[in-house]
Amino acid sequence: MNTNNKYGTLSIALLWPALAWGQHNHEGHQVTEHQSEKSTVKADSGSMHHNHGGMAMTMSHLYSRNLPMNRNASGTAWHPDQTPMYMYMKHSKSGWMTMAHYSVFLRHTNQNFTNPGGKGREQRVDAPNWFMGMAQRNVGKRGLLVFKAMISLDPFTVGKAGYPLLFQSGESYRGQPLIDRQHQHDLFSELSVGYSYAFSPKADAFLYVGFPGEPALGPPAFMHRISSFNNPDSPLGHHWTDATHITFGVATAGVRYGMVKLEVSSFTGREPDEKRLGFDTPRFDSYSYRVSVNPTSSLAFQFSQGLLRNPEVLHPGDVRRTTASVLHSVSLSGSPDHYVTSAVVWGRNGHDGENENAYLAETSLQWGRLAVYGRYENVTKSAEELGIINDEAGTTNDRPTNVDNVTLGLNYRLVRYRSTDLVAGTQLTAGMPDQFLQRYYGKTPLSGQIYVRLTPSLIRTR
């Protein structure tokens, strides 16, 4: 079977269980966009109360009984409180609240199509995807218990060597670096448990353990940031900001007072190995801290630093990572499906006496069925990391190089059925490498893709 046909068939097969889940939970009184006329949400001590067909349902943040669920992000990170949510929810009589969300893309991508023979030129059909389930319940008058599980079928739908992505680097396969490719994600991307205790409406503490999980380092991972919700591609600065979102062995403790949260983590510094179907050995040899501040319902700030012990197999040595980010979400025209979300992210990796920076700015405007989005990146990478050799003897070149990338895209919701959305979209990326890299990639390499995407529908929270 042709490789592209194989990935296309697998990705289509993913759609059926997702639709079945949506139908089941629609009948289970979930709050969705098209039920808004019959659903209400009230705030009471920061908790979210949903009226599902006359059934009172309480839903809070995963790690605080006194924060809104909209603040949930990846790991223990924070979103702004006005962040829209695309998920299914169900409440059981036993007191458990369960949630599920996912994203499945089926796409054709064509990298560096303007430069025949240029570096990184490749086209293919693949299907990046992830699925996440969460369950929580109150424990006593002040406690909250949470379980999360996340899987990705990337090992089967994008291939063992990942998908084509111009200028991407940072992983390896079969002892060779993956260059101009984004690695696949692990089948088991998160299995975690958390417990929080509320001292008062303004103060709480929590513990989080994951195998795998995500430490307190960086902004919310790109696939969970609502500002990058529409973009199938990983950022080029992934390994400068949020690459630790799948870590085999994480323990985090945190405290919150009012708008401020402080967290510390111990975790495994080594990135997941290329055997994406199993589990890696936990080491707990690396450390991080993160300070998060949400001054208003539309803003979320974070600053974090971490020491990662030998994260890369092919590049031995420790990395000191520093990140900072600002996330913004706000509804427009008083309608939940009219909103704009944005993120500005900076990351720095320090190793071998050198510092490399990555900058990202992204935004997404949702206007009913239509979404328009964009992403700008500036990344510093060594020529060696991009596989470029500077002489005939084969000596690798560690000179710093610089890449600017601009992506513009749009999509349109084709179908909403049983609380599930099918959208179709397209995007175009223009690379602007420095003069040294232009010899290999071309002056302004263009990459594009067309796609369809399946996700749960938007939940109304008002």
Quick: pLDDT tens for 97-156. 999 999 999 999 999 999 999 999 999 999 999 999 999 999 999 999 999 999 999 999
Q: How confident is the model at residue 234 (pLDDT cuts 50, 70, 90)?
A: very high
Q: How confident is the model at residue 82 (pLDDT cuts 50, 70, 90)?
A: very high
Tell me the two tokens of residue 34.
């098209």
Q: What is the mean pLDDT of the chain?
A: 88
Q: Taking residues 8-28, report their average pLDDT.
A: 48
Q: In 3-state terms, what secondary structure has residue 111?
A: strand
Q: Taking residues 396-421, report their average pLDDT.
A: 93
| pLDDT confidence of residue 45 | 37
Q: How confident is the model at residue 394 (pLDDT cuts 50, 70, 90)?
A: low
Lowest mean pLDDT among 38-42, 267-271, 303-307: 38-42
Q: In 3-state terms, what secondary structure has residue 236?
A: coil
| pLDDT confidence of residue 243 | 94
Judge whether residue 11 has pLDDT over 60: no
How many other CB atoms sit within 10 Å of the CB of residue 424?
14
Judge whether residue 232 has pLDDT over 50: yes
Distance CA 206, CA 199 (A): 11
| pLDDT confidence of residue 289 | 99
Name 162's Cβ contacts closer than 8 Å, sequence gap at least 6.
154, 171, 173, 178, 181, 182, 183, 184
- Beta 420-433 vs 354-367: how paired, if at all? unpaired
Query: CATH: 1.10.10.10, 3.40.50.300, 1.10.8.60, 2.40.160.10. Which one for 3-459?
Result: 2.40.160.10
Lowest mean pLDDT among 25-29, 72-76, 243-247, 359-363: 25-29
Q: Would you give the end-to-end CA distance of the chain in angstroms?
A: 49
Per-residue model confidence as pLDDT tens digits over 164-178? 999 999 888 888 899
Distance CA 205, CA 264 (A): 12
Contact present, 8 and 106 (Cβ < 8 Å) = yes
Q: Taking residues 427-447, report their average pLDDT.
A: 96
Q: In 3-state terms, what secondary structure has residue 400?
A: strand
Residue found under tokens 């040294």:
436
Judge whether residue 47 has pLDDT over 60: no
Q: Taking residues 59-88, report their average pLDDT.
A: 96
Q: Which of 365, 358, 288 is nearest to 325 (CA)?
A: 358
Residue found under tokens 């009471």:
44
Q: Which of 232, 214, 77 is nearest to 150 (CA)?
A: 214
Q: Taking residues 385-405, report their average pLDDT.
A: 78
| pLDDT confidence of residue 58 | 55
Full-model pTM: 0.87
DSSP letter string over 409-436?
Answer: EEEEEEEEETTEEEEEEEEEEEEEE-HH
Ramachandran area for residue 442 (φ above 0: left; ψ -120 to 50: alpha; else beta):
left
Q: How confident is the model at residue 353 (pLDDT cuts 50, 70, 90)?
A: confident
Q: In 3-state terms, what secondary structure has residue 84?
A: coil
Q: Taking residues 396-401, report their average pLDDT.
A: 78
Q: How confident is the model at residue 78 (pLDDT cuts 50, 70, 90)?
A: very high
Judge whether residue 6 has pLDDT over 90: no
Q: In 3-state terms, what secondary structure has residue 361?
A: strand
Q: Taking residues 188-206, report their average pLDDT.
A: 98
Judge whether residue 366 has pLDDT over 90: yes
